[in-house]
Amino acid sequence: MNQSRRPPLADSSLPLLAKGYAWLPDRRRRTASPVVRTRLMGQHAVALHGPDAVRFFYDERHVERGTALPGPVLSTLFGHGAVHTLDGGAHRARKDMFLSLLTGPQAVAGVVEEVTKAWDEAVPSWSGRPSVVLFDEVSRVLTRGVCRWAGIPLDDADQVARSMVAMVDGFSTPGPRHWRARRARARSEAWLGRLVEDVRDGDAVAPAGSALDVVVRHRDADGRLLDPHTAAVELLNVIRPTVAVCWFVSYAGHALHRGPGIRERLRQDDSAYAVAFAHELRRFYPFAPFLGGRAVTDLEWRGEPIPSGALVLLDLYGQNHDPELWTDPYTFAPERFLGRPPERDELVPQGGGDPSSGHRCPGEDITIALLSALGPRLARLEYAVPEQDLRIPLSRVPSRVRSGFVIEGVRVPAPARQESGRVSG
């Protein structure tokens, strides 16, 4: 396609770093075109938006994901050789492993059971302390729960939790956070790589059917076992996203503090409202700003050409706050999802498409179930919220409550009766 008549595009790498989540929605509002054209890291980029764009983006005839992931993201968030770097048959073979582990009622219930058990074990200790940082405490709870479920022994749960958080917290920004993320990944890959070797050598045991067992025994499309490094990478791609749910649980504290009526309703035994609350957390609060892929051939989107090899961006944060899709998009309103489950390609905090055939996160059902179980547990606790910095800066990617959401005077209501981790939806 002839692009010669288009004026040169300015590189937006620095504005993206400065504006974060607001960068792409702002650009989209300032153009009448159905796409946003720019350059990122010197590459031609075309940004799309909306449910139809989600379906276009996840069609492998249009966009491939593996070649579009920058090295710094692979060295921190996903890992080199991860499923995210694969396309076609190789991707489907590896993805099937994750689908077998993370989807279906039994898998979801297993993770939720272990995490809620870890929550119920940890919360009594909070009441004996002057204050706790919810973000930090929940990261430890999630680490203990998911590793127990995955069959991974923990010598130092606190250190593992800090490493998982660091990998997510530093993937998209230069500077100290990024280098902490790289060190955390190197340390974590070495730890799990040794565990994989120990299991294969008979020096450690992987519980039958556990994530550790499945990854150790998985054979890729070429029929070969994963090498220890790649196996460690994929084990981290089970643990890390689960621990990252601590972002949303701290956002839950923020939402309950701003909306006492929501807290009261969430305390009731209403599983449908708990699921709606989980959906609204994921829609309202910032998580991933956008996703990137690469055009596999010359394409056209709504009359706009997309040249082969161009970066194709899918605007997630903008879509989750689009007034054409959501009434009062900047109002936190869980009831919007009561009786109306979100369409597959409409609510896209973790991407869109079909998890069984595309790159959509296979752990999304687990995220929803964990939030549906932990949200009511948090709402039932008695605690005070002291003065603190509760801002959530959109310039920071990934963003988070600045203070981590500090609570004090925690008291488990008597009788200390938490509902089971089972949720519907």
**For the chain, what are the domain ranges?**
13-411
pLDDT at residue 416, rounded to an integer: 44
Question: What average pLDDT does the segment 249-259 reach?
Answer: 97
**Could you tell me the pLDDT band of residue 422, with boundaries at 50, 70 and 90?**
very low
Q: What angle, 0 to 180 degrees and rounded to 10, lies between the N-to-C axes of helices 245-258 and 134-150?
A: 140
pLDDT at 386 over 80: yes
8 A C-beta contact, residue 313 and residue 47? yes
End-to-end CA distance of the chain: 46
Question: What average pLDDT does the segment 238-267 reach?
Answer: 96
Q: How far apart, in whole angstroms, are the C-alpha atoms of residue 170 and residue 20?
A: 14
Measured in degrees and rounded to the nearest 5, phi and psi for residue 377 equal -60, -45
pLDDT at 355 over 60: no
**Could you tell me the pLDDT band of residue 71, with boundaries at 50, 70 and 90?**
confident
> In the CATH scheme, what is the code of domain 13-411?
1.10.630.10
Encoding tokens for residue 180? 């902490």
**Could you tell me the pLDDT band of residue 174, with boundaries at 50, 70 and 90?**
confident
pLDDT at residue 423, rounded to an integer: 40
- Exposure string of 8-42, with b = 16+ CB inside 10 Å and e = fewer, is eeeebeebbeebbbbbbbebbeeeeeebbbbbbee
Sign of CA dihedral 278, 348, 284, 250: positive
The number of angstroms, rounded, from the C-alpha of 241 to the middle of its chain's C-alpha atoms is 6
Give the list of residues 6+ apart from residue 227 with CB closer than 8 angstroms, or none.
none
**Could you tell me which of 377, 369, 360, 400 has the C-alpha nearest to residue 278?**
369
pLDDT at 313 over 90: yes
pLDDT at residue 70, rounded to an integer: 85
Q: How far apart, in whole angstroms, are the C-alpha atoms of residue 82 and residue 66?
A: 9
Its pTM surpasses 0.85: yes
340/380: higher pLDDT: 380
pLDDT at 414 over 90: no
Tens digits of per-residue pLDDT, 76-132? 999 999 988 888 889 889 989 998 898 888 999 999 999 999 999 999 999 989 999
pLDDT at 229 over 90: yes
Question: What's the Cα-to-Cα distance from 347 to each of 57, 281, 286, 320, rounded to whole Å?
Answer: 15, 11, 13, 6
